[in-house]
Amino acid sequence: MAKKKGEGHHGGAWKVAYADFVTAMMALFIVMWIIAPDPNDNKIVFEDEIDTAPPDENEPAAQGGEQKTPGEKNMDKVGEAGGSRKMKDLQFIADELIKLLKIDPTEKERPVDVKLVNETLKVTLFDRQTKPFFKVDSTEVTEWGDFVLKNLAFVAARHEMLLLLDGHTSRPYGPTAAETLRAERGAWELSSERAVASRRRLINFDLKPDQIIRVSGYADKRPLEGYHPTYAEQRRLTVHMGIH
């Protein structure tokens, strides 16, 4: 029986359209595969939880001791635990910073505490009476404070680190405490302005402005555990330092 005219070409158009669709989808998947981030890439994850564990004064800076907070790790055990390359780099940076600041690891009331928290370096700079970081009730840093910030800027610039600055103050006490809290420049202003002033000093010491990604002031709302809210230990600047 003879075929009808045109019967041999029946259904050919949909095959062409389908082939074009498959080709487009393959191209899309290839593009997505190329631009997709490598899951093994190192990323900076800053610890942003309320970490108010006090420094262990019997523990050498950035070494030994028991774990105090979730995410905090003993820096001398990083290698033993088979830690990541990032953590080993942070160990090296911590040691470098401690040497530059000439911190005595046996000192009972260290003016600087260095520890590793969630794969970032947490540096706490205390405004102690024996070694004040800021001038009294002022945002102006002391000679010691300038020395610390200069070395922090040097280390952060050298290792291309990103920084978060958090200012903290102690709770006012005494007969004028209520008046102090109501003043135009109370604990919130002082803690925030000290963090901002520290940012300016770091930039003056040649740290790039875009390396500081957050500046915050917490007044007396995040007191260190184990110390009364009015104690001098509450007056501090916390610097979180992360590497790529």
> What are 191-213's pLDDT values in tens digits?
999 999 999 999 999 999 999 99
Cα separation, 200 vs 27, in Å, equals 49
Mean pLDDT of 119-141: 92
> What are 33-77's pLDDT values in tens digits?
777 655 444 455 555 544 555 565 555 555 433 333 334 444 444
Please name each of the domains of the chain with its CATH number: 72-242 (3.30.1330.60)
The reported pLDDT for the residue numbered 159 is 96
Cα separation, 76 vs 128, in Å, equals 27
Mean pLDDT of 107-122: 89
Cα separation, 191 vs 195, in Å, equals 6
Q: What would you measure as the largest C-alpha separation in the chain, in angstroms?
A: 114
Read off the DSSP letter of residue 238. E
Helix (H) or strand (E) holding 90: helix 85-101
Cα separation, 200 vs 177, in Å, equals 30
CA geometry: angle 170, 226, 63, nearest 5 deg: 105
pLDDT band at 171; cut points 50, 70, 90? confident
The reported pLDDT for the residue numbered 106 is 80
The reported pLDDT for the residue numbered 84 is 81
Q: Are 56 and 75 in contact (CB under 8 A)?
A: no
The reported pLDDT for the residue numbered 55 is 63
- Cβ neighbourhood burial of 65 (10 Å; 0-12, 13-18, 19+): middle
Per DSSP, which regions of 132-200 are E strands? 162-168
The reported pLDDT for the residue numbered 9 is 54
3-state secondary structure string across 135-150: CCCCCCECHHHHHHHH
- pLDDT mean across residues, the chain: 79
Neighbouring-strand partners of residue 242: 162
Q: Are 116 and 241 in contact (CB under 8 A)?
A: no
Look at residue 140 and tell me whether its pLDDT is greater than 90.
yes
Its sign, for the CA torsion 86, 88, 92, 97, is: positive
pLDDT band at 79; cut points 50, 70, 90? very low
> What are 217-242's pLDDT values in tens digits?
999 999 998 888 888 889 999 999 99
Cα separation, 180 vs 173, in Å, equals 9
Which one, of 122, 119, 204, lies nearest residue 165 by Cα?
A: 122
Cα separation, 193 vs 218, in Å, equals 11
